[in-house]
A and B are shown apart, each in its own frame.
Chain A
Amino acid sequence: MIYIERKDVPTVSIAAAGFEKDTVATARAFGMPLAPYVVVPDVITAVPPERSADAISERIDGIVRGLTNPAQEVSDVDEGDVENRIPGPPIVYEGKDAFEAYEVFNRDFLDRGWGDGFPLSPPTRERVDAMLKGTSLPPDHAIGILPPGMGVATVEKVAISAVMAGCEPAHLPVLISAIKGIMKMGTRARQWLMSTSPDAPAMLINGPIVEELGLNTGQCSLGPGRQSRVNIVLGRGLRLVLMNVGHNYPTEMDMDTIGTPEKFSLCMAEPSKGNPWPGFHVTKGFAANTSTVTVAGIRNLYDAADLTNYTPEGVLNTVAGGIRGGANYASYRWSDPDPYDPEGGGGALVILCPDHAKACSDAGWSKEMVRDYLWGHTTTTAARMQQAYKVNPSWLLPPWKWILDLSPDDAARTVLPGFDNPQRIEIANFGGPAGKSMVMMTNGPSQTIEITDRE
């Protein structure tokens, strides 16, 4: 809307209650802080359309005012914690001893909204300088503009959050490359980072750096504990960078309806040796001995347990069931994303555990064969589409409108692919022994970036 307003065409945006801060922050980020908007009391996507339409009828004066009043008042909306959303000088904390000073620091950082809720490591000048030794890039180098809040990602600002997360200097280049991946997603990243859905940023690390940093690729690698310490602090580092550099602050530019524990830390790694197939990064076009980080927006984790099948088909039917469990997601693809974003609309990142991968590779299946089989068995029905769209047919993209005309019997019999192409399914291999794979629904394809500028 600001794009249009800048073309000298008056505009008004309609926002739902609870999204005022998001609206104001976005207007500010795009350089027009006084862009008019009108608020309706319910979340439009969540209530019957008639209710939202009635609500806007009652607020039509606000629309008219926004379009005709040349002197827009500064909105009286609570804009949030403005003073804690701009850079500032170093902060001094006092205590009767070092421990008390630490506690004062930690409480203050959490109060300002700069932490994830767990105790933080203090980003002193000395510790940030030590962190900066992990990369050959200069501290003031701007890596790019990080969504959703369009923060200027300098190496030093990334290093500060890395210290807070408990990262080590050798971890810094991983975080720098990870945010390059998020930047590469463009506006789609802005959408999933701010979404009302529980979309969590995930990293998958490949290549020799996996062993060099001591990342866990085996049992409990996504869980708590000493075996996953590096995974944990890296995932946490990305979380804090997204908040403090990308301004992805919860309830301000992260509008998640319920939230998800995946957002605290989600960092995976494939072992560089021992897998039956080429590594994930090789599939993406990188050399096996190149270290990479892949980023993806992850929504939902499904256990795809199968301890009773030993054939590729048997195991993969179970895994495909996990993808189908992503449920709504497959049906959403038929309306969301918009027709202009062929990459949007989601997919699945399948973590095939070693036992399941072995069942497939022992039978001579390549990773592409596994992917194509999963795609062919990730299906939905026209009946489900009717259930999703019969009330509001305008939300179904035009090529699929015929689905609404089918009789109930025909709709039940009509099977449709859950995804429009096999490439929407990506496969990684790690985990401990036992036939327990995992399906992660993704918000569009992942981005893989080489980890460079290491010291």
Chain B
Amino acid sequence: MTTLTTLNPVAEIQQAPVQVDIAPRPKSLDGLRVGLIWNRKRGGDAVLTRVGEELSKRYKNIKVKLYEGGIPTPASVLDVAAQESDVVVGSSSD
């Protein structure tokens, strides 16, 4: 019997500070500001606009605002969206 020993080629992934807990959630979306972040991928704007319409039908007094981002969306746009929104929906991968 012959053996062949090789090294493992896989690199460790950069250890971004892991945050298991997501942000605290509201019980209802009533009266909240909903930010929609579009990364300018085709069709994402139509999907997000519809999300705004559907949520407006279901919840009272919500305010919807669409933000135009990019790939990646610059921090300046994200900061404004985070500041002006209580919850955010984004179009991401294709």
Residues in A lying within 8 Å of B, measured CB to CB: 1, 3-16, 19, 22-23, 26, 28-37, 40, 43-47, 49-50, 52-57, 60, 63-64, 67-70, 72, 84-98, 100-102, 104-105, 109, 114, 122-125, 128, 145-146, 149-154, 157, 160-161, 164, 187, 191, 196, 240, 244-247, 255, 335-341, 344, 392, 394-395
**Which residues from chain B contact A12 at a C-beta distance below 8 Å?**
88-90
Pick the contact of B58: A64, A114, A125 (CB < 8 A). Answer: A64
Q: Using A10-B88, A44-B42, A191-B71 as known contacts, say yes or no to A4 and B8 having CB atoms under 8 A apart.
A: no
CB distance from B66 to the nearest CB of A (A): 10
Q: Using A60-B55, A68-B29, A123-B7 as known contacts, say yes or no to A151 and B88 having CB atoms under 8 A apart.
A: no
A56 to B52, CA, bound (A): 11
Given contacts A34-B20, A152-B13, A255-B94, 18 further A-B contacts (CB under 8 A): A4-B90, A5-B22, A7-B23, A9-B85, A11-B88, A11-B89, A15-B93, A33-B20, A36-B22, A44-B91, A57-B50, A70-B24, A150-B16, A151-B14, A157-B9, A160-B7, A187-B71, A339-B70
Assess the A68–B10 pair: CB atoms within 8 A. no
Q: Using A68-B26, A101-B2 as known contacts, say yes or no to A244 and B10 having CB atoms under 8 A apart.
A: yes
CB distance from B5 to the nearest CB of A (A): 5
Residues in B lying within 8 Å of A, measured CB to CB: 1-29, 35, 37, 39-51, 54-55, 58, 68-75, 78, 81-82, 85-94
A37 to B89, CA, bound (A): 9
A139 to B20, CA, bound (A): 33
A413 to B35, CA, bound (A): 42
Pick the contact of B26: A10, A14, A240 (CB < 8 A). Answer: A10
Interface centre among A8, A10, A344, by most chain B C-beta atoms within 10 angstroms, is A10
Assess the A32–B18 pair: CB atoms within 8 A. yes
CB distance from B75 to the nearest CB of A (A): 7
CB distance from A411 to the nearest CB of B (A): 21
A246 to B9, CA, bound (A): 11
**Which residues from chain A contact B8 at a C-beta distance below 8 Å?**
87-91, 160
Assess the B46–A63 pair: CB atoms within 8 A. no
Q: Using A84-B10, A245-B11 as known contacts, say yes or no to A196 and B50 having CB atoms under 8 A apart.
A: no
Assess the A44–B5 pair: CB atoms within 8 A. no
**Which residues from chain A contact B28 at a C-beta distance below 8 Å?**
68
CB distance from B77 to the nearest CB of A (A): 8
**Which residues from chain B contact A54 at a C-beta distance below 8 Å?**
50
> Can you list 5 A-B contacts with CB-CB less than 8 angstroms, sorted by A residue number?
A14-B89, A67-B89, A84-B10, A95-B4, A337-B70
A109 to B73, CA, bound (A): 37
Assess the A40–B5 pair: CB atoms within 8 A. no
Q: Using A1-B37, A14-B91, A44-B43 as known contacts, say yes or no to A98 and B2 having CB atoms under 8 A apart.
A: yes
CB distance from A267 to the nearest CB of B (A): 20
Assess the B22–A45 pair: CB atoms within 8 A. no
Pick the contact of B9: A60, A100, A123 (CB < 8 A). Answer: A123
Assess the A338–B39 pair: CB atoms within 8 A. yes
A84 to B9, CA, bound (A): 10
Assess the A16–B93 pair: CB atoms within 8 A. yes
Count the A-B residue pairs with Cβ separation under 8 angstroms: how many? 283
Q: Using A45-B43, A122-B4, A339-B70 as known contacts, say yes or no to A11 and B12 having CB atoms under 8 A apart.
A: no
A395 to B70, CA, bound (A): 12
Assess the A45–B90 pair: CB atoms within 8 A. no
Main secondary structure of the interface of A (DSSP, over half): mixed
A254 to B71, CA, bound (A): 16
Closest B residue to A397 by beta carbon equals: B40
Interface centre among B22, B50, B51, B72, by most chain A C-beta atoms within 10 angstroms, is B22
Assess the A128–B29 pair: CB atoms within 8 A. no
Closest B residue to A98 by beta carbon equals: B2
CB distance from A400 to the nearest CB of B (A): 14
Closest B residue to A121 by beta carbon equals: B6
Interface centre among B6, B46, B81, by most chain A C-beta atoms within 10 angstroms, is B6
Assess the B18–A44 pair: CB atoms within 8 A. no
**Which residues from chain B contact A8 at a C-beta distance below 8 Å?**
23-24
CB distance from A129 to the nearest CB of B (A): 10
A449 to B94, CA, bound (A): 32
**Which residues from chain B contact A29 at a C-beta distance below 8 Å?**
13-14, 16
Assess the A149–B13 pair: CB atoms within 8 A. yes
Pick the contact of A5: B6, B23, B74 (CB < 8 A). Answer: B23
A91 to B5, CA, bound (A): 5
Assess the B78–A4 pair: CB atoms within 8 A. yes
A10 to B4, CA, bound (A): 50
Pick the contact of B94: A43, A60, A245, A395 (CB < 8 A). Answer: A43
Assess the A44–B41 pair: CB atoms within 8 A. yes
Assess the B93–A35 pair: CB atoms within 8 A. no
